[in-house]
Structures are given as structure tokens and as C-alpha cells.
Structure 1
């Protein structure tokens, strides 16, 4: 027998007030500590571009000190390519390990342990000049890639699991905000007037140690993911304490109920590893969507803009140094637009924003191709190329930049979530490496038409995501999983459990 309607409504109102997440100090600390990892990822991504000429000088000087002969230009170019590529290779390995790492060590503790790799990487890059060893630089970049590959799995999953569903999207965007902020800071510090000099370039690379140190200071005071504690570790007491610290209210029963419901729903399934994920028919659609979302990020052509925007600006008539400074405008647009999307994520929705971003990129990729092919006939089209590139970046930041990182954690329940993160992050890093490696060859063979393949990919991704991706805003993980499996009664089941809980809650208060 249930409670009278008035009592049920009153109790539901009380619970709703408690589950509307407050901005507590522990929440802010936890988010900041986690996002420092995202910042490190962005910093290491962008920091290597500005000092390219200085690093090549170092390679040549090292060779002269070793055997007295200068290094050929081709050898310098190939070695620098290895230095750049080693980061992506390490990222691929780290991404593949991310899910297992998160399950074994925890989301927070896994991030803490990962700082050791980050500090070792920064130290090797900083001391390579003193050690007269470009091998140290290569290994440092490789370790930095492994560290950042783990970060791209650990940070999004931690942010999604410490957030209540009404702000889960907003917190998820903060991972991307950290990444683009790191890219922008590395671009500014890499200016020739700042640290992009022959004397300071290794200090520029070594500054990657700062986010690691901040994580070491902050994360010990942050709670572990409540979901990880309750579902993976079966530690309800500490999960409850973590929820109370994060949410800012004294009663965490509603959150515990929702997590227990997810735990019960997955108990009928065996623990899902990567092979189990790849072979599961029930999880196939969620996995396909996750992979497509990450491919839509990397095959959108944004990597070409990030790596080669200086050439676009030089084609528009800017000299080399001015083009380097102008490139920071790309980072600034990314930061501003990522901030704009934070409140939109839980109001407009992930699906809508991602489709809007892909659609806008599709239009402006066509405009970029037109201005590139016609700028020799219409000189002012060179300026339009710059503007179109910045608007292209704006639409990327609107959705494709951040949503793939957060939505994978939403599409899967706790059991297969870590394996799904590993596969998705691996796909992202491999695609990043592939586009970064292929684009110079595309530019050589296709010339002004080098963006056409990206235009085709954007159209395909838009159609697929429009047809198959469900909206995930304001839904529990259980509801999203049920939608992908074709379930239709999840809300009714949840409401029944909720009323039963309210009855037991009332009887506990008034025995």
C-alpha cells in the first residue's frame, strides 16, 4: 500500500531538492583536479609546434657534438616527425590501457598514479639539452603520450560519474575546455617573444610538469567516483560518503537507489572486457555509435586546421611570425566556444549540438575549398579563407570537440563502460595520427581541394548520427542503455521503485 498522493508529492519534492546538485567545494576541487589532466593533454598536443625550428637546431648541434658532422635537413625532418609521432603512438597505447587502468586503480587514484608518467615525461624533455640527447626527447614525448592517452579515458569517465544527471553534460564539457585551454597556453608561451627561443624551448616543454604537480596536490583531497565505489567495489559506505561530499546534502539515498538499479540491471551479464564488448550483440549499437562519434571528431578535418593553420594564414599574405601569432586565434576561438557550450549541453542536448556542429563544419569546409581555389582570381578571398577557418573551428567547438569524450560514458552502463572508453579512445588516437600523417600528402596531391574528403565524411557522419544517436540529456545511465537495447518501460519501472523507496523512507522516519 503506497503513501497518500500528497505525502508522495511532498517526499518527491524533498528528494528532488536534494538531488539537484549543489556546487560544493569538494565538487569544485574534484573537477579542477581532474581537468588539470585535460589541460596537460592539450598542452602537450600544442607545445611541440612553435619551437620546431629550435628543436631541429638542437638535433643538428647534438649530431655535431657526437661525431663532428652536421645532420642533413632530411634527417632533421624525419627525426622531428618521430618526435611528434611518438606522442600519438604513446597516446594510442595509453588509450588502450585506460579502461583497465580505471577499473584496477580507480578513476581518481588512477589519475594520481598517472602523474608519475607525466612527471617523468616532463623531466626527460627538460633535461634533454643538458644530456645532449634527442633520444631523451623522443622517450619523453612517448611517455607523455601514454600519460595523455590514459587521461583521455580517466578524466571524462570521472567527471561523468561524480556529476548528477542534471549537470553531467556541463561537467563533461570541462574536459574539452581543459584541452583547448592547454593548447592556447602552449601557443602563447611558444611565441618567440616568450619561450619559443633557442635558450628556453626545453623549459617550454618541461612546464608540462605543472599540471601534474597540481594534480598531486589536489586529488588526494577529492573523493573517488561514487559509481566506481558502489558498483565496481561494492563499497556502499564510502560511496555514500563520496556522494554527500560531492552533492552537498546529507541524504544520498536517491542517488544510491539509482546506482543500485544500474547494478542490478547489469548483474545478469558477465563482466565485460574489450573482447566481450566487441562480440556482444546487445552492446553493438552503443559501440558503433561511440566509434562513429570519435571518428566524426577526427575525420572532420579539424586536425588539419590545428596542425596547418599557419599555412592558411601565410597563404592569405601574412608573414611567418605573424602567422604563428594568428594561429593562437584558433585556440582562443576554441576556448571561448567551449565555455559557451557548458550551459547549452544540458539545455539543448548532446545530439542537437553535435549535429549543429557537424552541419556548420560541412558548410564551411565547402567554403574553405571555394576560397582556396578562387583566391588567385579574387584576392580578398584570402581573408575569407581565414574567417572561414575560424568559423569552422567555432562549429567544431560547439559539439564535435567535446561531446564524443563525454557521451561514451553515457551510452554504457558501469560494466562495459571502461572497455568502451578504451576502444573509443584508441580509435580517436589512431584516427588523429592517421589524419595528421595523411594530410600533408593530401595537400600535395589534391592541392586546393584537400578539404573535399573531410566534407564527404562530415555529410556521412551527420546522416548516421541523425538517424541513430538518441538524446542523453537528463537521462540516467540505465535509461540510456535501455533505449539502445530497445527497452520501453524503464521510466515506469523506475517510478515503481521510487514509490517503494518513498514508502520505506516514510516508515523509517515515522516507525
Structure 2
């Protein structure tokens, strides 16, 4: 059963996807790399401050500086994500990824030189620049992969985005342990290793083709698009793909250069845009980044030793990789919407268990056996929370945003969705320490509330996009908008049929008057598109000669 689902996965397509997802590996690495060396970075900031001002910095100020180092990455991500659509249209998907690696190299070098420069401002600048790089990656990579993947593999290959993110997280967590690079002297090397994915992508990506959709629809280079498809499909039989792109181009010709303002104001595209934005929020406001950024501290507060907490954090990365691999075949078999519902539901349940574990520690903290049991409950609940994140919310928001839009509005939609994602990422990164201090044992309850809201929204509003072309997905929303008008038109058509049936029984003079009225267009008549056919509602009735016989007289009617 698994073999047919791999039809179309050629060696060169696999190579192109591998080269592209190095950008998402960069994103995952820099998301997780700041976690393990938290104590060493804070000690470095204390030393720099004392060297400059000759006095010790307050502990609260150190925490604030560290939260800046964490969250400024997301500020850069907002800028990069927002400009992703413009970069994609100007330089292409592949061209934008190649240029983006310059930022990756600069940001990694700055972070690696933080200790040499004896300046935490250099760390902030490097984190900001690498954030811009990762923001562009989160916009360009899913767009590129969704446009080169065959229809039957788009879901599974789209999940490779999240697989690369989880591998990056795991690598950063493993390298961050004290036995490798998580020491007082080597942590800048840990941050500077972000240069590796950028250099590797610069070496591999030039041999990959540009997105065929970009070449055909945006640049109008049909022969170049054919060449790219032949290489990706390892076949000369690419007419089906070309025809699908042409159909998409015809359907979206009026929106070929759609701007963000036009996208927001479009009634047809507003519904998929809202869904894309809420799906991105469901990923970030689920509480997962609180786990990624502060899991070591979270485990320590639940009773684990520092060393055990770091190994538990590595367990999070390992589970993310394993569950993402499991979700790849499920994506095209089960469907995006179903997996997202499972993921959000499981996260909601285990966020409650995380809160319960904190409450047990507070009320039974004097019993050592209870503390040990609670520590296990906290770890298991957190790891299960991550498992369900990997099942759905980890990969589906990136994928479904690209699937909900056709070629014209897709870059603008990706820019808006990624901007929202990074804004939520920033809010969680900057607010979680303060929220943890204020709410203490109830820290995860706001995330539980958000998860419940997002589950309801997904159940009621999100369509299934499995094995649907971009044009078919757009038709779902177009028909949704036309549903109320269609009901009105059907009612109007039924009224006309009744009038026509009675027409034979009215006097000739009144029949002639009715025919004149029929020739005038009805104000409620309209034309709507359904797929590639156009159907006219309430067409003018054909002329019929006046009846030759006088109308019958109805008993008790006075006629």
C-alpha cells in the first residue's frame, strides 16, 4: 500500500527537497540552540556588565537580557517572513533561498564572535540577523517544496519541512550538552555552527531547478518550466503538470500580481487568509515554544537536576524527529484537517496534565516520594505534549497556507501568515518568563484555553486539502461565498416556474404584459462561476404565442 504513494518521488526531486529544507533545518537549529547554554550565557552577561560598570548586575536584569537574546530572533523572523513574498516574486523561490544564505553566514559569524568581542550586543545583532534569515526560510522553503512536489506527494513532502526543523532542534540540543559544546568557553562555537546549513545550501541548491510554477505563471517561461519539470519528474511526460498550471493561471489571471492589500480586501480570498493566519497562531500559541525555549528551566523547576533536565530536553528533540517521520505517510492518508484536530486535542489534554504536575509539587512538596513521582509525570506530560505537536500543529500550518492559495496570491498570503507566526513566536518568547513568574503553577492554563479555541475553529472552518489541486481548493471557498446567493437564485427560479405554469390561465392582455416584463432583466439575476463552466441564474424565458383559447372560468372565483 505504501509503494503507490511514492509514485513520482524521483532521485532528483529528493535531492532538490533535501537542498531546500536545509533552510528549515537552520530555523530549527537556531530555535533550540539558545536553550541549553542559558546559564552560561547569563554568566557571560554578568561578567561583561561587571567589566563595564564595575558592579554586579541584578538577577532580574540578567533574565531580561537573556529574554532579549531569545526573542530578538523572532523580531528578525518577522521582518524576514514579511518580506518573503516580495523576495519570492523578485528573485524566484530558488534565487531567494540562495541570496538568503548570505544573511545566515553573517549572523552565524557574529554569534560565534560574541565572546571574543566581549559584548552581548553582538549576540543580539547576530540573533537578529539569523532571525531574518530563518524568517525568509519559513516563507520560501514551504513555497518552493509545494510548487515542485507532485499532487499525490505534496502532503508527505510538505511534512519534510517540519522534519528538518525537528532535526535542527535535536542537533542543537545534543551539541548543547556540557560534555560537547555546552560549556562556559565553547557555547559561542555552538551558536556559530549555524553557518554550516547556510554553506551547505549554497553548495547544493545551485544544481536544483527553479520552481516550474514560478517559471510558467510568474515569468511566462514555458520552455524553462518544461525543462525543470522533466528533471524533477525524470520523464518527458509533463503535459499533465503543464495543463494544471495553465488552468491555475487562467483561474488566477486577474490576481497574477495581487498585493497584500488586495488579498486582505478580496471577499473570495478572505476566508482562506483567515484560516491560514489562525493555523499559524495555533502552532505558536499552543505553548510549544515555551517548551523549546525554556524546557531545561521547566524540567528543573519540576524537580529534575540540571543534567537530567538537559537530557530530558534532548528527549524532546528525539521525539519530535520520530513523530514527524511517523506523520509523513499519515499526511496524505489521513488528511491535514484530521491530523491537526488530533494534534490540538492531545496537546490540550497534556497541557492540563502539566498543570496538574505543578500543582502536585506545590501541595505535596514536603513529601519526597511525591516530588519524585511528580517529576516523572511532568516529564511524561511534556514529552506527550510534544508528540501531539509533531503529529499535526508542527507541520500542517506551514503546508496548508501554501495549499490554500494559488500562484497569484500565494506569496502575499505566505508573507502575512509567516509574519503572524513570528509575531506570536516573539510574544511567547518575551512573555513566557514573566507569565511563569505571575501564574506560577498555572502557567500552561492560557495555552490550554488557546488550544481549545483552535480545536473548535479547525473543526468548524478548516477544509480538507488532501489530494486537491490549488484550483479545487479555491473553488471550495468560492462556492462557500456563493451558497447564500445560490439559495436565493433557486428560490427565484422556483417562483418563475410557478408564474410560467399559471401563465396559460391568464387573459391574453395580461400574458402580453408579463412577456414584456420577462424581457427586462431581473435585478436579482446574476452569473456565477462553478469550476470552468459558467451558469446563468434566472435566464429569460422563451417567447410563447398568446393562447388561442379564452381562459376558463373558475367556479366561485368571480372570473
Separation in 2, partners of 1:182, 1:326:
17
Per the TM alignment, residue 440 of structure 1 is displaced from its structure 2 partner at its CA by 2.4
Match in the other structure for 1:366: 352
1:365 deviation in Å?
1.7
Structure 2, gaps ≥5 residues long: 365-369, 483-527, 534-559
State the alpha-carbon separation in 2 of the partners of residues 20 and 92 from structure 1: 35
Q: Secondary structure at the match of 2:116?
A: coil
Q: How do 1:194-209 residues align onto structure 2 when only pairs under 5 Å count?
A: 194-209=180-195
Matched, 1:125 2:111: yes
Higher RCO by CA contacts (8 Å cutoff, separation 6 or greater): 1
Q: Where do 4+ consecutive residues of structure 1 move more than 6 Å? A: 17-20, 487-492
Larger Rg: 2
> Match of 2:9?
23
Q: Is the 8 A contact 1:47 1:187 kept in 2?
A: yes
After TM superposition, the structure 1 stretch with the greater mean CA deviation from structure 2, 394-403 or 438-447, is 438-447
Q: Which residue of 1 aligns with 2:537?
A: none
Measure the CA separation in 2 of the matches of 1:20 and 1:41: 27
**2 CA distance for matches of 1:130 and 1:389?**
37
Tell whether the 8 Å contact from 2:230 to 2:236 is kept in structure 1 after alignment: yes
Q: Distance in 2 between matches of 1:168 and 1:238?
A: 22
1:50 corresponding residue in structure 2: 36
State how far apart, in whole Å, the 2-side matches of 1:388 and 1:294 are: 23
1:36 to 22, 32, 44: 22
The CA deviation string for residues 276-306 of structure 1, in whole angstroms up to 9 with x for no partner, is: 1111111110001001101111111112222
Match 2:288 to one of 302, 310, 325: 302
Matching of residue 174 in structure 1 with residue 160 in structure 2: yes
1:90-239 matched pairs, under 5 angstroms: 90-239=76-225
Query: Are residues 127 and 395 of structure 1, via their aligned partners in 2, closer, same or farther at CA, if it must alter by over 3 Å?
Result: same
Secondary structure, in 3 states, of the residue corresponding to 1:401?
coil
**Alpha-carbon distance between aligned partners in 1 of 2:25 and 2:294, rounded to the nearest angstrom:** 21
CA distance in 2, matches of 1:50, 1:433: 19
Of residues 468, 475, 485, the one that matches 1:475 is 468
Is 1:418 the counterpart of 2:418? The answer is no
Q: Is the 8 A contact 1:21 1:247 kept in 2?
A: no
Match of 2:226 among 226, 229, 240: 240
For residue 287 of structure 1, the aligned residue among 251, 266, 273 is 273
**C-alpha contact 2:31 2:293 (8 A) present in aligned 1:** no
Q: For residue 391 of structure 1, what is the aligned residue in structure 2?
A: 384
The aligned runs of 1:259-274 (5 Å cut-off) are 259-269=245-255, 271-274=257-260
Which residue of structure 2 lines up, in the alignment, with residue 13 of structure 1?
Answer: none
- Matches of 1:18 and 1:249, distance apart in 2: 17
- Asked whether the equivalents of residues 19 and 247 of structure 1 are also in contact (C-alpha less than 8 Å), the reply is no
Which residue matches 1:332? 318
Distance 1:404 1:360 in 2: 17
Deviation at 1:490, TM superposition (A): 9.4
* Inter-partner Cα distance in structure 1 for 2:201 and 2:256: 34
- Residue of structure 2 aligned with 1:408, choices 401, 420, 425: 401
Paired with 1:122 and 1:369, the residues of 2 have a C-alpha distance of 37
- Cα shift at 1:71: 4.6
Aligned counterpart, 1:446: 439
Cα deviation code 1:360-414 (max 9, x no counterpart): 1122222222232234445423322211111111011000010000100100011
Work out the CA distance in 2 between the residues paired with 1:350 and 1:286: 15
Distance change >3 Å, CA 369–CA 129, structure 1 → 2: closer
Deviation sequence 1:57-100 (CA, Å, 0-9, x none):
33344445556555554443333222222211111111111111
1:268 is paired with a residue of what secondary structure?
A: helix
> SS where residue 473 of structure 1 aligns?
coil
| Partner of residue 431, structure 1 | 424
CA shift, 1:25, in A, is: 2.6
Find the aligned partners of 1:20 and 1:305 in 2 and give their Cα distance: 34
Q: Is the 8 A contact 1:18 1:251 kept in 2?
A: no
TM-score normalized by structure 2? 0.82
Q: Name the stretch that deviates more: 389-398 or 269-278.
A: 269-278
Alpha carbons of 1:268 and 1:337: their partners in 2 closer, same or farther (altered >3 Å)? same
Q: What count of residue pairs does the alignment treat as equivalent? A: 478
**Alpha-carbon distance in structure 2 between the residues aligned to 1:166 and 1:434:** 37
54-63 or 221-230, larger mean C-alpha shift: 54-63
Taking the TM superposition and a 5 Å limit, the aligned residue runs for 1:484-499 are: 484-486=477-479, 493=532
Among residues 446, 449, 468, which one is paired with 1:456 in the alignment? Answer: 449
Q: Verify the 8 A CA contact 1:95 1:153 in the aligned structure 2.
A: yes
Q: Distance in 1 between matches of 2:442 and 2:43?
A: 34
- TM-score when normalising by structure 1: 0.89
Aligned-partner Cα distance in 2 for 1:128–1:381: 39
Q: 1:316 to 1:68 in 2, by over 3 A?
A: closer
